[in-house]
Every structure is written in C-alpha cells, then in structure tokens.
Chain A
Amino acid sequence: MKKPLLLKKCAVYSVLSVGISMMGSVQASLLEDVKSRDTLRCGVSSDKAGFSHLTDDGEWGGMDVDLCRSVAAAVLGDASKVDFVITTAKNRFTALASGEVDVLARATTWTASRDANLGVDFTTPWFYDGQGVMTHADFGVSTIEELDGAVFCLSPGTTSEQNLEDYFGRRDMSYSSVVIEKSTELYNAFQHGRCDAITNDMSGLASRRTQFADPDAFTLLPETISKEPLGAYVPQGDAQWRDIVTWTAFALMNAEELDVTSENVEEMRNNSDNPNVARLLGSDGHIGEKFGLDDAWAYQAIKQVGNYEEIFNRNVGPDTPLNFERGLNRLWSDDGILYAAPVR
C-alpha cells in the first residue's frame, strides 16, 4: 500500500549504506585508524592564501597543508599520503568532532571556548598572528578609536567578529557590518568601498593589500586588537594522537633551531655530533617508538617537507607574492616567540 514511500526509503537507505561502507568503521585509536587506512585526512580551507590554496598542478600548498604533510610523513613515512578535505569556517569543528577529518589545520585560532566546548583539542601554535584593521587612506584615520560608527567588512563565524565586538563595546563605540563568507569577495567589497574598514589577521591584511590595484589607497592601522595563535586541532580525548601532531610541529621548529634542513638531514643523521640532533633524527634513543611511530618520524617529516623556516619561506616568505614578515614567528633565540619544547 505504501509502495512509493517504501521504494523511496529503500533507495535512500541503499545509497546511504554504500556511503557508510566506503568510509570505514568506528575507530579505536586515531593512530591505528590512520595507519590502517594508510592515509591522513586533513581538514583545510580552500582559499586561504599562504595557508592552504591550490597550486597550478592541482596540488595543495601552504603552511597548514605542509603541517598536514609532515604529520603524514611522520606517521606513514610518506608526505603525499594526505587526503585534503575542504572545510568552511562554519563546518570545520563538526567535521573534526564527527571524525570526518583526523587533523584540522585551517588557520584556526586557539581559544578557551573552542578547547572547552567543541569536542576538539588544540595542539600547538603553528603561526602567531594578531588581528588588525585596514581602512581607506583618504579617511586620514590613524587609530582604531577614530573609526566610531564605521562600516566593517567581516567574515561570519570567526573570532575576528567577536574581537571587534569586544573592542568597540568596551569603548562605547558603534559600528555596522557587511558580512561576507568568502575572503576574496570580502576584500573586494572593501576595496570597492562597500565598507569603511576591514578587520582580519594582520598577515592576511598585509598580503591582500599588496594585491590591491592601488595599495597606497589603504592604510594598515598599527594596533592589534587580539592575539591569534593559529594551529592544528585534533579530536578530543585521544592523547596519543594529540601528542603526535604537537610533536611533529615541535620537531620542525627544533630542526630550524638545530640547523637541520631537508637538504642536510641525511648527513646530519649520520655525522652530527650534537646529541640533540641525534635524538631528533632518531639515530639515538627511541622517542618515535614511544609515540607509536617509527624512530625516523622527525627525519621523514624534515626530509620530505622541510624545517619550519623552509616551510615558512616556501609558502609565505619574502620570495612569495605574500611577503610576510617573520615577526613573532621567529625562533625564541632570534627574539621571536617560537619556542618548541626539546625533543629528548
């Protein structure tokens, strides 16, 4: 009697079951899962210049992408075994918490509420950023406080919206907003005068301004209104997996500190008399094994992806159109705040 509906249900369920069977089973430990799948699934953004974007050959490139690749190299021994899953600002945490991705590297700020609420754990800052404000130069504005009543271009669901709200609320100032989801459109709207000011991470503002038709028509105000430590998130409650991603990032920073690069890593492993290098590259001790990995975990990551400096320069450094200042992201020994815990 209910034939049409039954048929419909059958159709839907059979399609669903195909999908479920394709995606594998309930995980015990993420490390085991990733190893048995032989692929790391990494959630990235599709259009964040310098962090994750497509190159002309259809490969992914960027700081976040390289973090994923180094985790794949450390865990699976092959940096190319990554499936990049596109996430948006809104669905990124759902994707991570529901197990759709193993790592979320999407220029995501480390905040208490995210760590506490969303079923996700932060690993370690991978890029230190701060939120700034850019306006049209002909306004003659030199501080954010002069922007009372201005129209701001904002992207929804990000911490930048909240920070601006806090900053203006605290000073009894008001602003109105034009909310646009995609960053390219957002900057275009600003450039063409749909809003008086735009707020985002300093690095993003600076790099976008260099691409404007007339960069001098816009001023980047000197203040930052927030701290933005960006880095990878992992699902909550898997300490081993969190350690692995955290220490892979640390290993790349340590490599820069110890002058180990993708070029000389082979030689350093065999010949270096520095015990720190030997421990990092696995020629002394069994640190990798204790993480559940191969002892050459860091060696593989550095060899295939490079140390932090190489990754930074390749993706956002002075030779790229983005030309970021290293700034806060210098090593602690060079007056930055990049301070990786030692591998020993």
Chain B
Amino acid sequence: MTVSATQSHSGVQVPPHHPLGHQVTRWIKTQLFPTPFQSCLSLITLVLLVWFTPLALDWLLFSATFVGDSKADCIGGGACWLPVTQRIELFVYGFYPDTEIWRVNIAFGLAAAILPLLYIKQIDRRWVLGYLIVLPFLMWWLLKGGVGLPEVSSTKFAGILVTVFLGVIGMLFALPMGVLLALGRRSNKPVIKLLSVLYIELVRSVPVITLLFMASLMIQLLFPEGMTIDIFLRVLIVLIMFTAAYMAETIRGGLQGMPSGQYEAAKALGFSYWKTMGLIILPQVLRNTIPPLLTQFIGLFKETTLVVVVGVLDVVGIAMSTTAAPEWLGLEHEVYLFLALFFFTICFTLSRYARHLEKQMEKSRS
C-alpha cells in the first residue's frame, strides 16, 4: 500500500492526466513485452501460472482437509492439514503446562509490542530503550517462573515458544554486547581493541552449528560430574555470542558513518568518552542501524532452527517429531509447508517493516 503510494508520488515523469487504463497498458508493454524474446518468456510464465495456480490452490485449500481426528478423515484428495490443526497447541506452546499458558501469551505480546514502539515517533526514545533492556529479563521471568510464579522446567519449552524466545531474548541480550564490542573495536586502547577484534573475527569465522555442537557436547565435559547447565541456556548463550559478533560489525558501520563534527562538538563541550557515546553518538547510531539490526534479527530468527540438531525442540523439532508420529507418518509435505508459511509470514512482515522504517528515516532526514 505504502509502496504504491510513494511510487505514484515520486513518478514525476508520468503525466498526471493519463487515465489508469492507459498506464496499465503502458506498464504491460514496457515490462512484459518489450522484446520478442521477453514476450515469449512472459507468455510461458503466464501459461505456467494459469496452469499451476488452480492446481496448487485446489491441493492447498479446496480439496484439503482441515477438520478431523485422524489420517482416515483425509479423503478430499488434497492436503491433509490435520497434523497441524490437531497439534496447533503443541506447535505454539510446546509442553508448557496448560494452566500457565497465559504467561506465554503475555510474553508473545510483549515481544510483539516492540514493533509499534519502534514505529510511533511520539514515544520518548528513552522509554523504548528502557523497554528493550527490561524485556528479555521480563520474558525470562514470565516463561521460566521464579519470584512469585510457579517454576516451569525448560524441558517443557518447545515449539514456536522456543523459536520466539531464543530469537527475541538472544537479540536483546546480544545488542548491548554488540555495542560494547563495536566500541571496543574502535577503541584506541590496544588491549581492548585486540580482544574485541579477536572475539569478533573468531566467532564470525566459525559456523554457528559448530558453536552449537560445542555447547551440546564439549561444555558438559568441562564441568565436574553431576553439575550440568540446562541445554536450553547453553544454546541461548551460543546464539547471543554469535549474534553479538555480527551485530558489533553492523554497529561499527553505524559508528563509522557518524560525521566527525559530532565527536568534535562533544569534545568541545567537555563531554567524557562515555557521555559522548551515551548521549550523542550511540542514540543516533542505534536509530540509523535499526533497519539492518532488524534484518539481523530475521537472520537470527531463522538460525534458531539449528538448535534442533542438539536436541532442543523448536518449531522445526516439533514438526519433525510430528512427521515421525505413527498416526501422521507420510504427511511431511503439509507439516513442512506449514513451517515455511510460519517463517515466511514472520520474516516477510519484519523485512517489509524494516524497509518501511528505513524509508521513514530517509524522509525525516531530507
């Protein structure tokens, strides 16, 4: 909606008095049939689309089965969505105790609230930042329990709950760490600089799956027998460490993009290093880097699916277990399509949102 609006505004070369029909034919001519070869390609694509779309829709929706109890109810000949619909609670909440599910819902709501908060400009940025700092602890407390809430073992965590939890908490914990690493890398103190560079380069040169295997297999062996750290926590720490290194590079890019006049002005006013950074540089950098950071979040969100190889049941883990359940054996296509739809919806929304924020920023700058 917003895209088309900006296009028609910026498209100054299109005379405004042309009727809509004319514009459409013009678009078809220039975009679909500019040369004989491209016309051919367009035609073939169109034919394929016309042939394929009804088949796909029929399989996905019209002949599909949405209501029923077992595989025997799938008689429509289309997709059998029962493994998903029958298990939707399992997919979303994992093994979380039924009476405590409200806590998960609140945690989901709190995480989703970040988006409007970033968007509405009237809200004081300090409140937003404060919210982002408090949120991971709040989510942890809500889901894990402790003070005032009954404790829930992390073996009960599974499904979308895990995916969102690892993604959001991982991102928010990684943010301060990434800021510190970025500052460290640009520091003029050699030791700090060296350590930051070492950390960032080391973590960035190793695939995240290697780090996950480390967390799953090696860390336990370093502890005395009987003392164990929850696998969930180990995986979370790995994701935080990994994301922080990448984030540090994004933020460093933002730091480098700041005009030197900002630093000089701060110095002229007698600001200390931390005051300069905290009050002048970082707020601008963070604001400018929100879109790339959101993109990074999308990356992290998808990367969380790797935890399944070390035995944490995220939404992919539940899907795999579903395809192995005797009553649903052989329905892999539907289950994996559901997964694809889930990730596409969230990641596509976020990426559109990031682009929108970016545009908004460009507008406010010019």
Q: A26-B224, A54-B90, A212-B330 are in contact. Are A182 and B184 (CB under 8 A)?
A: no
One of A2, A85, A91, A182 near B191 (C-beta < 8 A):
A2
Q: Is the CB of B225 within 8 A of A26?
A: yes
Q: Is the CB of B324 within 8 A of A100?
A: no
Residues of A within 8 A of B325 (CB): 49, 53-56
The segment from A8-16, A219-227, A258-266, A284-292 that touches chain B is A8-16
The segment from B16-24, B313-321, B344-352, B354-362 that touches chain A is B313-321
Residues of A within 8 A of B320 (CB): 46-47, 182, 184
Residues of A within 8 A of B191 (CB): 1-2
Among A49, A57, A320: residue with most chain B CB under 10 A: A49
Q: A27-B226, A83-B155, A321-B329 are in contact. Are A91 and B311 (CB under 8 A)?
A: yes
Can you pick out 30 interface pairs between chain A and chain B where the beta carbons lie within 8 Å of each other? A1-B189, A3-B192, A4-B192, A16-B237, A18-B233, A19-B233, A20-B229, A23-B230, A26-B224, A27-B225, A46-B313, A47-B321, A49-B329, A53-B324, A54-B325, A56-B86, A86-B313, A86-B317, A87-B311, A88-B310, A91-B310, A97-B225, A98-B220, A99-B227, A184-B320, A184-B323, A188-B332, A207-B326, A320-B326, A321-B327
Taking CB as reference atom, which chain A residue is nearest B86? A56
Binding site for A on B (CB under 8 A): 71, 86-87, 89-90, 94-95, 153, 155, 173, 177, 180-181, 183-184, 187, 189, 191-192, 195-196, 213, 216-217, 220-221, 223-231, 233-234, 237, 309-313, 317-318, 320-327, 329-330, 332
Q: How far is the CA of A12 from the CA of B192 in the complex (A)?
A: 18
Residues of B within 8 A of A320 (CB): 326
Q: Is A132 interfacial (CB 8 A cutoff)?
A: no
Taking CB as reference atom, which chain A residue is nearest B274? A3
Among B187, B189, B311: residue with most chain A CB under 10 A: B311
Q: How far is the CA of A57 from the CA of B69 in the complex (A)?
A: 12
Q: A4-B196, A5-B184, A47-B323 are in contact. Are A85 and B155 (CB under 8 A)?
A: yes
Among B71, B153, B184, B330: residue with most chain A CB under 10 A: B330
Interface string of A70-112 (1 = CB under 8 A from B): 0000000000000111111011001101111000000000000
One of A16, A53, A91, A99 near B217 (C-beta < 8 A):
A91
Residues of A within 8 A of B221 (CB): 94, 98
Q: Is the CB of B226 within 8 A of A90?
A: no
Q: A5-B195, A26-B224, A100-B220 are in contact. Are A49 and B230 (CB under 8 A)?
A: no
Q: A49-B329, A100-B231 are in contact. Are A58 and B311 (CB under 8 A)?
A: no
How far is the CB of A28 from the nearest CB of chain B, in Å?
9
8 A Cβ contacts from A1-52 to B: 1-5, 7-8, 11-12, 15-16, 18-20, 22-23, 25-27, 39, 41, 46-50
Q: Is the CB of A26 within 8 A of B226?
A: yes
Q: How far is the CA of A11 from the CA of B133 in the complex (A)?
A: 14
Q: Is A183 interfacial (CB 8 A cutoff)?
A: yes
Q: Is the CB of B237 within 8 A of A49?
A: no
Binding site for B on A (CB under 8 A): 1-5, 7-8, 11-12, 15-16, 18-20, 22-23, 25-27, 39, 41, 46-50, 53-58, 83-88, 90-91, 94-95, 97-100, 181-184, 188, 207-208, 211-213, 320-322
Residues of B within 8 A of A41 (CB): 155
Q: How far is the CA of A48 from the CA of B323 in the complex (A)?
A: 10
Q: How far is the CA of A46 from the CA of B325 in the complex (A)?
A: 10
Q: Is the CB of B227 within 8 A of A4?
A: no
Knowing that A54-B325, A86-B313, A207-B326 touch, tell me 4 more A-B residue pairs with CB under 8 angstroms. Answer: A55-B325, A83-B153, A90-B217, A208-B329
One of B183, B196, B228, B326 near A53 (C-beta < 8 A):
B326
Q: How far is the CA of A91 from the CA of B212 in the complex (A)?
A: 11
Q: A26-B226, A86-B317, A98-B223 are in contact. Are A184 and B309 (CB under 8 A)?
A: no
Taking CB as reference atom, which chain A residue is nearest B241? A12
Q: Is the CB of B155 within 8 A of A84?
A: yes
Residues of B within 8 A of A184 (CB): 320, 323-324, 332
How far is the CB of A211 from the nearest CB of chain B, in Å?
4
One of A19, A86, A322 near B311 (C-beta < 8 A):
A86
Q: How far is the CA of A46 from the CA of B187 in the complex (A)?
A: 47
One of B173, B229, B310, B324 near A16 (C-beta < 8 A):
B229
Taking CB as reference atom, which chain B residue is nearest A47? B324
Residues of B within 8 A of A46 (CB): 311, 313, 317, 320-321, 324
How far is the CB of B196 from the nearest CB of chain A, in Å?
7
How far is the CB of A60 from the nearest CB of chain B, in Å?
9
How far is the CB of A125 from the nearest CB of chain B, in Å?
22
Residues of B within 8 A of A47 (CB): 320-321, 323-324
Residues of A within 8 A of B231 (CB): 85, 100
Q: Is the CB of B321 within 8 A of A19?
A: no
How far is the CB of A116 from the nearest CB of chain B, in Å?
18
Q: How far is the CA of A3 from the CA of B274 in the complex (A)?
A: 12
Taking CB as reference atom, which chain B residue is nearest A213? B330
Q: Is the CB of B226 within 8 A of A25?
A: yes
Q: Is the CB of B329 within 8 A of A23?
A: no
Q: How far is the CA of A22 from the CA of B233 in the complex (A)?
A: 11
Q: How far is the CA of A47 from the CA of B316 in the complex (A)?
A: 12
Q: How far is the CA of A212 from the CA of B181 in the complex (A)?
A: 52
Residues of B within 8 A of A55 (CB): 325
